[in-house]
Amino acid sequence: MSISTKPVVFLIILFISFSCKKDKLKDDKEIFIGKWSWVYSKANLDLCSGFPKYDDTLTPTTENTTYQIEFIKKGKVFFYKDQVLIAEHRIVFNVFGPPYTCNELGYTFYAINLDNDNGTDVMTGLEGCISSDTLQVGRGFPYYDDGCNFYTNYFVKG
């Protein structure tokens, strides 16, 4: 290899290593590994209408659909609708645990950027609380906040 090609090869390797950033699920983050099934979503609706807001609960029965989230150790997440894969992303943790806390004992706060996108669009991440058997998604899949409607989505492992 000539001297002039060494910097090019180095830059390519450097670009690849940073462009594919993802966090492997190890240590305390192993709690995410597995498939999580959606059980319900709490919705606070019509907050912008000028009328009193109303609350609703969405379930697989009321919505006639199912959702799953699957995390794998390599640092990837898969989203399913009615058992069909609809999206796949790399995950990068923005926050896991302190300084943020969850109201429920035994839960840990998390904020995940999908595909290392740290934008403010709610569809670029997941945020909520997790325990050994419950995943709460306060920002993200399957129902996303839109400024007037706010959702908290609940999943169980298994």
pLDDT digits (tens, 9 = 90+) for 21-54: 567 999 999 999 999 999 999 998 888 887 767 8
User: Is residue 13 included in any domain, yes or no?
Assistant: no
User: Is residue 8 included in any domain, yes or no?
Assistant: no
- Decide if pLDDT at 118 tops 70: no
User: Is residue 74 included in any domain, yes or no?
Assistant: yes
Residue 14, sorted as left (phi over 0), alpha (psi -120 to 50) or beta, turns out to be alpha
Task: Assign residue 56 the CATH number of its domain.
Answer: 2.40.128
User: Is residue 4 included in any domain, yes or no?
Assistant: no
- The SS3 of residue 13 is helix
Count of the separate structural domains present in the chain: 1
* Alpha-carbon gap, residue 28 to 34, rounded angstroms: 14
CA-angle at 131, arms to 20 and 111, nearest 5°: 35
Question: Looking at residue 85, what is its pLDDT?
Answer: 97
User: Is residue 12 included in any domain, yes or no?
Assistant: no
Residue span of the structural domain in which 111 resides: 23-157
* Alpha-carbon gap, residue 11 to 92, rounded angstroms: 23
Question: Looking at residue 28, what is its pLDDT?
Answer: 93
Name 11's Cβ contacts closer than 8 Å, sequence gap at least 6.
none
